[in-house]
Structure 1
Amino acid sequence: MKSTKDLIDLIELQSISETQFEGRSETVGSRTVFGGQVLAQALNAARRTVPHERVCHSLHGYFILPGDLEKTIKFKVLKVRDGGSFTTRYVTAEQDGNSIFVLACSFQKEEEGYEFQTKMPEVQSPESLLSWEEIYEQTKDFMPENFTRFLGLPRPVIFKQTVINNPLDPTDLPPLQNVWFKFKEVPEDLSLPHFQEILAYVSDYNILISALQPHASKAHFGNTQLASLDHAMWFHRTPDDFSDWFLYHIEVPSTSNARGLTSGKIFSRDGKLIATVSQEGLMRKMNPK
């Protein structure tokens, strides 16, 4: 995938019936289905059973089994409730008759209310930072192949971290991260539902890996099993420009019992809080062979 259109084509599911859909997968470098992909696809399935005037305001998902990249995923939507203001849906994603992911999400009609939000952190502008693609070009000849291969994969999103950590330096790092991201070649007619779906997709990038930072002196990809367990997201506001830069501010409140808890806030460039994310993931020590 190289553009936002490619990403939307992946997320937009094939309809089987009014409440059943089917989707395919594309790798982001891992051997199993990317969690953000199945999350976004499940949201797409739910949204297509909801009145157009209602917009998703929250979702809560659980990752049950790793997804097979070579097999299609079937999405079954349960219409839990259609209320006067809110609509609730429950989605099950299946492969070979087994549930690999479940999602509960709620949609709301537009209403007026009180307004408050936390401020966006002060960080460097995205124009002053290197993208993953640029880092790849500068490090591919001397950094480990698995590291550079991940950075060099074609993606529909540009990522720029405000602090570039050296993966070869065994030093514990602060429990936070700030990452600018921008969708490539955004269609002018991109709808709000599709924007929410691609935002859900990208919200699974960078978040769990941040939980390794406080333990970077001893924990890394080679000796730690990482896997998303659950993912929650709340949509607060609509950005003025879908094609501009967004800041993903990620914090790590806790790691314990082989799990890491992370939380994130997504801001538009002008400081508007667009969404809040929370995820818990597996961080299991692997015994050396």
Structure 2
Amino acid sequence: MGDALRALVDAVGVEVRSGTAIHADDDQWTLALEPAGTHSWVATRYRPVWVRRGDTDELVAAGGAALIERHTTMTVGTARQQHGPPKTVPSSTFPYEALSAYTGIVVGSATFGPLAAEVLALPPVATTLPAGHPSPDVVLALQHLGELDSGRWHGVQQDALAQLVVTTVLHDNAPPLLQDNSLARVLDRVFDTEHRYTTAELLEGVRMSERTLERRCAEATGCTPAQLGRWFRSLEVRTALARGDRPAEVATRFGFATTSSMWRALRRVRAPEIGRGRRD
């Protein structure tokens, strides 16, 4: 299902910002996360941490990561109870940072496009899975971070490691419409950006009839494969409109003869039934 998930994430759009490594000399602390994007992310290498969003809190295992939907109250800390912010002992000795403890905890932000809730259906707090276990990709990312100039992040490495952490969480919290493994190969093809498959091509190498495909697809997504294809192809168009681009320019950019024909096509779009319960 990797191709389908990648296609959906690309269609939604996400910009991941590099993280800040937390240093602390005290053992108990709570750090307020700044709402710089649509989400904040947290990754921890050595110890479990608590992340909080409003009244919701989750324990993130050592070697794990979390993606937290923007909220007025977002924190990460060493305990479920609230403490003061992390502190380091002042010193005039060079190098200054060598005297403060690198916690192995990194925080950053991610900004998803306007259709993220419809497409990805992430919970308010998404963590790497299975809960309570380290994620190999997160461990490797944080290990590499620790090897970069005493924990400092630089350029391309910074962007790549931050992106790896966020995409790992997305992989472990794939949209519900991708969770029927019997449809994996079909949906990889439905969400192919370079080729439109016929029904016969969708079924190539898949052990099911056209009727069974229609039934399983409807059970998993509420849509037929053709409806899913129309929905997927509408995402870039609707994202541009949601961001305020002029409809006439959007219609031209995506190959519609007129603005009216674009609106008619969009009215035919049926979104899959993938919403999860959400908490504010």
Normalised by the length of structure 1, the TM-score is: 0.21
Higher strand share: 1
Please identify the structure whose Cα radius of gyration is greater. Answer: 2
Higher helix share: 2
Higher relative contact order (CA 8 A, sep 6+): 2
Normalised by the length of structure 2, the TM-score is: 0.22
